[in-house]
Copies of this chain bind each other. A is one copy, B any other.
Amino acid sequence: MGLTKTEIFTEEQNQLSMLLKALAHPARIAILQQIIAAKACICGDLVDELGLAQATISQHLKELKNAEIIQGTIEGVKVCYCINPKTWKLLEKQFGRFLGSYQSVDSCC
């Protein structure tokens, strides 16, 4: 046990939960906010900004990259990270539809 039964869920349910999982950590939220705030793409400044070790930041970046929420391009010694617009749009669409499917009726318990 201990592993999610992805096979019993729909493609959409799995995809959405995967994206949300990638976002579901305060450090990763903070990282994304930093990347967005710095109009240009920042790099290892994240290590200074947040109070986490370099290895930890790198690991969080990897997860965001795996989920294709961000993309990184090598710029000499540094690496430049930025939002992947395609996934961001997908997230807006998918999660928007999910959230919108509920209309507060307050006819319930």
A residues at B contact (CB < 8 Å): 4-6, 8-10, 13-14, 16-18, 20-21, 23-30, 32-33, 36, 39-41, 50-52, 71-73, 75, 80-83, 85, 88-89, 91-92, 95, 98-99, 101-102, 104-109
Contact = CB atoms under 8 A, between A and B. Distances in A.
B25 A71 contact: no
Contacts of A23: 17, 20, 24
Given A8-B51, A8-B52, A26-B6, A80 B109 contact: yes
Given A4-B26, A8-B51, A52-B5, A40 B101 contact: no
A108 B40 contact: yes
Nearest to A6: B26
